[in-house]
Structure 1
Amino acid sequence: MNVKQLRYLAFALAAVAFCSCQKDPSTSDLHEDYLVYTAHDSGTDFSAIDTYFLPDSILIIGNNNRTEYWKDDDALTIIDAVAARMNNAGYTRTDDKTLAAVGLQLSYVRQETYFVGYNNPYWWWYYPYYWAPGYWGNWNGWHYPYSVYYGYTAGSLLMEMVNLEAEEENNRKLPIVWDTFIGGLLTNDSELNLQRTIDGVDQAFVQSPYLTK
């Protein structure tokens, strides 16, 4: 299936449309109720990564005029699910991000949004309250080592793994070595929404076997 066909499929499902220029995606890993898509830097040796840092909150991408984080019990349940998957894959969580090899940042799209990125996507500069690169250190923006295109609607979860061991110099951009977009999460049932999100997190790791050490 080519990129154009995948976009039609994603929009038909009213879910995330996420296309990587690395490789045409397989639809065998797409859940019937929601869409999970993952991509990674093929040059990263994930087996060499040992520790990770995971914040205790999820950034909200909405229409608020200030930075907003999701920290209630549901948010912590999602964060714990991500941590459990990382731990099961062989990584060790640390509370000190200066000691972590990678960091994981989670974002939740609360309003309907659409962004497009290219080799070095800068969609976050058009949204003023995305994760600031300064949260992780002295970085000048973000960098994907692969080409990506984004499109997603309300009720989407973004997970991104950043390489904290990359050389940190002036004007260097922090590389994101793995990411996943989970869309189509919203229903009229809040408990079902949470379960679909957890299932989406699990599916993201299932279809990313290279993360397992």
Structure 2
Amino acid sequence: MKNFIYLLLIVAIGFASCRKEPDYDKLSSEFIVSTNLDKTASFGSYKTYYMADTVINLGGTGKDTILNDANAVKLVAAVKSNMASRGYTLVARTAKPDLGLRLGVVKVVNVDVYYPGWWDGYAGWFPYWWGGYYPYYYPWTTVYTYNTGTEILDVYDLKNAKTNGQYRVIWNVAAFGALGSDMGGNLNRGINAINQGFVQSPYFKAN
């Protein structure tokens, strides 16, 4: 019995020492999407909107604060397509639109360090013949990094801004998830998140 327990411990330690980092491309299939609304807003009273063909990089500096590459254009196109399907008309900024839309993204690099320490937190758990009381420790640590992204779409009430003296956010989509190494896959997750935000908000329509 003692030999059997000893063998199990050797196998367990062997698995821990050769543990592979998780495949974040597989873990990050879709973003988590949440929507918020101003319950006092009458969405049917708005007919027109304005949105720039750029995306704000919330974590950027200098010229990197505005994204206007092909991926940014596709994200904006996804928003405009959903707005059109809900009956809203895109107009120029100078045409006094009822709504103003702003899309922003931010990328965060996460660093995790795993250090088992004293018996991986189980001091004294091993049988006495292993000398559980002795300060033995694992001679390795595991360090891995992964990227997460957040996408935020805000809709502002421009129609009533002069009346109440403020630009009020009446609807919001926030999407969050892990980013893979495939930029095309990340773009698709961003577009899917925008679409999902509108799916979750059937009340957001002009008619």
| TM-score by shorter chain over 0.5 | yes
Of the three residues 91, 95, 99, the one matched with 1:94 is 91
Q: Deviations over 1:86-112 (max 9, x none)?
A: 000010001234420000001111236
Deviations 1:52-73 (A, max 9, x none): 0011101101152567201011
CA–CA distance in structure 2, aligned partners of residues 154 and 66 of structure 1: 22
Match in the other structure for 1:164: 158
The 3 A distance-change label for structure 1 pair 63 and 92 is: closer
1:60 has 2:61 as partner: no
Q: Which amino acid aligns with 1:54?
A: M
Indicate whether 1:187 and 2:187 are aligned.
Answer: no
d(CA) in 2 for partners of 1:112 and 1:201?
A: 22
> Which residue in the other structure is 2:30 paired with?
33
Which ranges in structure 2 are unaligned for 5 or more consecutive residues? 1-23, 111-146
Contact 2:29 2:189 in 1 (8 A): no
Q: Measure, in 1, the Cα distance between the counterparts of 2:56 and 2:94.
A: 17
**Which amino acid letter does the alignment assign opposite residue 55 of structure 1?**
A
Residue 204 of structure 1 corresponds to which residue in structure 2? Answer: 197
- 1:187: how far off? 1.1
Instruction: Name the larger-Rg structure.
Output: 2
Q: Which blocks of at least 5 consecutive residues in structure 1 are unaligned?
A: 1-13, 15-30, 114-152
Compare the two structures and name the one with the higher helix fraction. 2
Instruction: Give me the whole-angstrom Cα distance separating, in 2, the residues matched to 1:112 and 1:44.
Output: 37
Determine if contact 2:35/2:173 at 8 Å carries over to the other structure. Answer: yes
Structure-1 residue corresponding to 2:108? 111
Structure 1: distance between partners of 2:64 and 2:30: 30
Q: Secondary structure at the match of 1:204?
A: helix
Q: Give the whole-Å Cα distance in 1 for the aligned partners of 2:94 and 2:159.
A: 11
Distance 1:75 1:53 in 2: 16
Whether the 8 Å CA contact 1:61–1:111 is kept in 2: the answer is no
Using the size of structure 1 for normalisation, the TM-score is 0.61
Aligned-pair identity in percent equals: 26
* CA distance in structure 1 between the aligned counterparts of 2:185 and 2:29, rounded to whole angstroms: 15
Task: Determine the C-alpha separation between the residues in 2 that align with 1:32 and 1:154.
Answer: 12
Q: Is the 8 A contact 1:59 1:107 kept in 2?
A: yes
TM-score normalized by the length of structure 2 = 0.63
Structure showing the higher strand proportion among its residues? 2
